[in-house]
Structure formats: C-alpha cells, structure tokens
Amino acid sequence: MSIVIIILIVLLGALTRTVFGFGEALVTMPLLALVAFDLQSATALIGALGLIVAIPAAIRYRTKIDLAVVRRLVLGSLLGVPVGIAVMKWVPTKIVLGALALFLISYGTYNLVRKSAAQVHLASPKWDYLAGLISGIMGSAYNSHGVPVVIYGTLKKWSVDELRGILQAHFVCVGTIVVASHILAGFWTVQVLQLLALSLPLLLIVIPIGNWISAKIAPTTMVKYIYGLLIIFGGLLLIKVIH
C-alpha cells in the first residue's frame, strides 16, 4: 500500500510539472515526508523523474529556447550543485526550507496583489549566472532548481512559452548533473530503482494529460497561477518545517 501511495504522489508531481513547467519537488517532497519516505531516497527519485519529464517538454518548446541564456544558467548551476550537496549534508534542513518557504509566500503574494508592474532592471546577462548558481544549490539539495529560474524569468518578463522553453532546457542540463551528483553521493538505492521502474510506464499517461490541461490555460492566467503556486509551495514547505 505504501508503494502505491508513493507512486501516486510521484505522478501528482509529474502532472504539476507538465502543466506548469515546474514544482514537482515542492509538491512531492512534503507529501513523501508525510508518509515517512527517506529524504535522500525521495531526493534521488524525484530528481530522476524530473529529468525524464523535462526531456519531452524541452523538445516541445525547443523553438522558444534561448541557448545563450540556458548556457549561462547551466554554468552557474555547475558551481551551485556541490554547494547544494554540502548544504544538505551539513546545514539543518529546517533553516534552509523555512527561509525558502517565507520567500516564496512573500514573493508570490506581492506579485498577485500589486497593481502595476515593478521596474526591475535585470538586463545584464550576468544575472543569468547568479540565477543558475542559486538553482544549482536548491536543485542538488532539494530538487527545487526550477523555482529560482521561474522567479528570475518573471523578473525578466519572459513570456510563458519562453519561460517554459528555457526552464525545460535548463532542467535537462542541470537535471543530468543533479542526478549524477545524487548517484555519486550514494542517494540511489534498490528501492529508488524499483519505484522509478514502476512509475515510468504511468508517465506515458500523465504527461499527455498535463499537456492537454496546459493548452487550455491562457498565458495571462498561467502567470497568475504560477504566482499562486509559489504561495502554495511556500505553505507546504512551511508545514513541513513546523512538523
């Protein structure tokens, strides 16, 4: 029964990623913690599935991908991945997740309630490296490498399709690095491989459903949903920290 619950949680995360382009870890990690699934195993499982889901999405939005931006994000992430592994091993999880939760809630709420667009000046490509660095740290530690890029993309005023394309291309590149780092760090177990094998065939059903739902949502509405998701994810993380 516990295996069925874990797989259902994983599929919910895959559906969230397919519809909104990110967020599978922020949905699944707190839920997996509630069913007492080992943190390192959960990190390895969700990291691998996130990479698998990202590949068809990157192909779908390939015409919207800015390769120069992706390259800078990935280079920044390369520096962030080992830092994230160290954070997971040495820094108390509650401190990092608590700070992230409060930031997500604050940022999402601000963007939903503000009446006019903020004048944010992030024209320099150098900001891509910083966003990638933070993404690498959060990705290797908590599989949350999408959140920094999503926030960065909203600040840069990318269109929804541009955000999706760049985000998924970044997921493929960084996801490969993150999964490799998880393997080297010893996060993969026989149980992770078994759950991965059971989940893969079901993704063939979940991904088309997610694409169909995504196509029904208008771009302006999608942006609001993204901000709302950030608030929800922040709340889930906060609950995880408190409990």
Q: What DSSP line would sit under 128-170, residue for residue?
A: HHHHHHHHHHHHHHHS-THHHHHHHHHHTT--HHHHHHHHHHH
Task: Give, in order, the Cα–Cα distances in Å from 125 to each of 71, 119, 132, 157, 160.
Answer: 11, 17, 11, 14, 20
State yes or no: pLDDT of 159 exceeds 90. no
Tell me the per-residue pLDDT of 225-238, one tens digit each, with 9 for 90 and over: 888 888 888 887 78
Residue 219 is predicted with a pLDDT of: 76
Span 46-67, average pLDDT = 89
Q: What is the mean pLDDT of residues 59-67?
A: 90
| Alpha-carbon gap, residue 165 to 61, rounded angstroms | 5
pLDDT for the residue 120? 59
**Mean per-residue pLDDT of the chain:** 84
Give per-residue pLDDT as tens, 112-158: 887 655 555 577 888 999 999 988 887 776 667 788 898 898 888 88
Q: Of 61, 37, 30, give the one whose Cα is nearest residue 142.
A: 30
Q: What is the mean pLDDT of residues 84-94?
A: 78
Q: What is the average per-residue pLDDT within 213-225?
A: 84
Tens-place pLDDT, residues 3-42: 888 889 999 989 988 888 887 877 787 778 777 777 778 8
How is the chain split into domains, by residue range? 2-242
